[in-house]
């Protein structure tokens, strides 16, 4: 965060519409992965109602001040920022009291994000679920957005609402991340495919993260996968997303096509030769 | 997937649920994006059918007017199978209303129109037949 940055910071909203699809997990993992690539990163918990980013990063015991005190000018920004010990390129600006929701305006969010943008390469904003004022405040402060969704009907529908709002607010680019992908189910067509979701939402795909038990283990520990276990299936997904975000051309491999089981290969063959279904 | 599911799919009896999910989403996203409420959509559908029926006889049973969306562009698609072209188009509803001097269409004509059946045959018979009338928004949706 002490780096002298020439290029303007990238301020990226991480949102989804539906809750529980993996926004906060993504913010923590992407933040660490970008920091490991040598970027200075601030992660901002904009989910004031249900803050969790501190917990996923293992920083919950080190919070003194929050965005609330920074806005009230009762502390300086650097007093509120919590620097990650193992990955000092990353700092967290914690969410304030849930009652902030009552008075926070889009201008307040723009002010906070503007302050962060002066000192970091990346500002990742962990948005609240929903399409109400909390989301709109956060979106007003972002230059670009990542929409996280799961390959499920309700998550995709809610994502679509959010994309409509982002478009009308002029946030661009908006990119898609598909989380909790189950390759086997996709291969047997019992789950929306990667292409289907990105076609339905008409968004470019920034990356995929598979369903992975290690995500739970890592949240239990307060250590994002990208910190110590970047080679786990989900960890690789998060790391690749970080590299693509930085402009690297990391190929996107559809895991459902990569390791198809014998049965689904057989099914595909039957489908193709008979045209039955 | 259970063995039974597998057999059903092998026999083409059952679509995989992923395909169903996509088809259902295509429909629901088209509606969400257009922001047209079902009532307005139904009214529009009826008026479109009315206009088309002046020129051709259409197979009302298999008519389909729906919203579709691709690349965030929503389109109204109408699939109206034509039974027969009319030699002379039927008069417009306002014209006929003006001719007949009736401000309000008779409730019976409205009901017939909403039911959608038999309209074309009646119109084909003679000039005396009541022309399609515009349907007020509060009339029950056709199903
Ligand atoms: N790729 C994944 N594999 C397995 N579990 C996941 C994955 N991503 C997220 N989860 C789990 O889903 C839950 C919701 O994630 P979270 O990041 O809190 O969602 P959100 O911030 O969108 O509400 C958490 O319990 C998290 O551990
Ligand atoms: Mg969250």
CATH number at residue A184: 3.40.50.300
Write down how long chain A is: 277
CB A120 within 8 A of CB A6: no
Chain B, 4 to 33: residues with Cβ < 8 Å from chain A are 6, 9-12, 14-19, 21-22, 24-26, 28-29, 32-33
Contacts of A97 (CB under 8 A, 6+ apart): A48, A66, A68
Residue A18 within a domain? yes
Residue B45 within a domain? yes
Task: Map residue A79 onto helix, strand or coil.
Answer: helix
Contacts of A59 (CB under 8 A, 6+ apart): A82, A84, A92, A94, A222
Of residues A72, A91, A95, A75, the one with CA closest to residue A83? A91
Distance CA B83, CA A178 (A): 47
Distance CA A79, CA A121 (A): 19
For A126, other C-beta atoms within 10 Å of its C-beta total 26
Residue A2 within a domain? no
More confident residue, B50 or B140: B50
The answer to whether the peptide bond before residue A61 is cis (omega within 30 degrees of 0) is no
Tell me the DSSP string of A132-172.
SHHHHHHHHT-SEEEEEE-SSHHHHHHHHHHHHHHHHHT--
Q: What pLDDT does residue B15 have? A: 86
Task: Map residue B126 onto helix, strand or coil.
Answer: coil
Task: Tell which one of A191, A215, A234, A239 to mutate to probe ligand 1, the residue whose CB is within 8 A of the most ligand atoms.
Answer: A215
Query: pLDDT tier at A276 (50, 70, 90 boundaries)?
Result: low
Residue A4 within a domain? no
Question: What is the distance in A from the centroid of ligand 1 to the CA of A25?
Answer: 6
CB A209 within 8 A of CB A180: yes
Residue B7 within a domain? no
Q: How far is B26 from chain A (nearest CA, A)?
A: 7
Q: Which helix (H) or strand (E) holds A247?
A: none
Q: Any idea which ligand is nearest the CA of A46?
A: 2
Average pLDDT in the A246-253 region? 94
Task: Map residue A276 onto helix, strand or coil.
Answer: coil
Q: How far is A159 from chain B (nearest CA, A)?
A: 10
Residue A5 within a domain? no
Distance CA B1, CA A188 (A): 8
Q: What pLDDT does residue A163 have? A: 97
Residue B19 within a domain? no
Atom number in ligand 1 closest to CA A47: 21
Full domain range(s) for residue B45: 36-87+105-114
Distance CA B41, CA B38 (A): 5
CB A21 within 8 A of CB A147: no
Q: What pLDDT does residue A1 have? A: 47
Residue B71 within a domain? yes
pLDDT score of B119 more than 50: no
Residue A1 within a domain? no
Average pLDDT in the A116-138 region? 97
Residue B56 within a domain? yes
Task: Map residue B56 onto helix, strand or coil.
Answer: strand
The whole-model pTM stands at 0.78
Distance CA A36, CA A90 (A): 9
Residue B131 within a domain? no
Query: pLDDT tier at A274 (50, 70, 90 boundaries)?
Result: low
Residue B68 within a domain? yes
CB B33 within 8 A of CB A165: no
Q: What pLDDT does residue A177 have? A: 98
Q: What pLDDT does residue A268 have? A: 66
Total domains in the fold of chain A: 1
Q: How far is B133 from chain A (nearest CA, A)?
A: 37
- The nearest alpha carbon in chain A to B8 belongs to A277
Mean pLDDT of chain A: 93
Of A146-155, A229-238, B107-116, least confident by mean pLDDT is: B107-116
Size of interface A-B (CB pairs under 8 A): 60
Total domains in the fold of chain B: 1
Task: Map residue A112 onto helix, strand or coil.
Answer: helix
Test the B interface: residue of A17, A187, A189 with most B CBs within 10 Å? A189
Of residues A91, A113, A85, A90, the one with CA closest to residue A39? A90
Atom number in ligand 1 closest to CA A179: 1
Full domain range(s) for residue A102: 10-274
Atom number in ligand 1 closest to CA A237: 1
Are A200 and B22 inside 8 Å of each other by CB?
Answer: yes
Residue B41 within a domain? yes
Average pLDDT in the A181-186 region? 95
Q: What pLDDT does residue B39 have? A: 87
């Amino acid at each position: 965060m002490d780096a002298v940055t020439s290029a303007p910071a990238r301020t990226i909203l991480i949102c989804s519409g539906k809750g529980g699809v993996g926004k906060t997990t993504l913010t923590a993992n992407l933040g660490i992965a970008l920091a490991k690539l040598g970027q200075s990163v601030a992660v901002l918990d904009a989910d004031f109602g249900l803050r969790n980013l501190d917990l996923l990063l293992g920083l919950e015991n080190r919070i003194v001040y929050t965005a609330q005190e920074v806005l009230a000018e009762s502390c300086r920004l650097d007093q509120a920022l919590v620097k990650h010990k193992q990955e000092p390129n990353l700092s967290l600006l914690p969410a304030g009291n849930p009652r902030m929701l009552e008075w926070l305006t889009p201008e307040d969010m723009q002010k906070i994000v503007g302050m962060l943008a002066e000192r970091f390469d990346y500002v990742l904003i962990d948005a609240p679920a929903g399409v109400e004022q909390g989301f709109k405040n956060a979106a007003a402060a972002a230059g670009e957005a990542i929409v996280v969704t799961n390959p499920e009907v309700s998550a995709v529908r809610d994502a679509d609402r959010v994309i409509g709002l982002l478009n009308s607010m002029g946030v661009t680019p908006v990119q898609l991340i598909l989380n909790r992908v189950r390759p086997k189910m996709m291969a047997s067509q019992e789950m929306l495919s990667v292409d289907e979701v990105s076609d339905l939402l008409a968004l470019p795909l920034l990356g995929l993260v598979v369903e992975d038990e290690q995500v739970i283990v890592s949240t239990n520990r307060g250590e994002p996968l990208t910190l110590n276990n970047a080679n786990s299936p989900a960890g690789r997904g998060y790391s690749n997303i970080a590299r693509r975000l930085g402009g690297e051309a990391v190929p996107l491999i559809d895991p459902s096509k990569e390791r198809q089981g014998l049965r689904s290969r057989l099914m595909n063959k039957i489908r193709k030769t008979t045209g039955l279904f | 997937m259970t063995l039974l599911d597998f057999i059903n799919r092998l026999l083409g009896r059952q679509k995989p649920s992923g395909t169903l999910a996509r088809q259902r989403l295509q429909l629901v996203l088209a509606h969400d994006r257009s922001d047209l409420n079902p009532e307005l959509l139904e009214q529009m559908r009826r008026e479109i059918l009315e206009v088309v029926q002046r020129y051709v006889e259409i197979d009302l049973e298999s008519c389909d007017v729906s919203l579709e969306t691709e690349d965030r562009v929503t389109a109204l698609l109408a699939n109206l199978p034509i039974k027969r072209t009319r030699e002379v188009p039927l008069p417009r509803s306002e014209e006929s209303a003006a001719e007949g001097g009736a401000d309000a269409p008779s409730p019976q004509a409205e009901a017939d129109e909403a039911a959608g059946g038999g309209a074309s045959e009646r119109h084909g018979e003679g000039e005396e037949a009541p022309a399609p009338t515009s349907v007020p928004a509060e009339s029950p949706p056709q199903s």
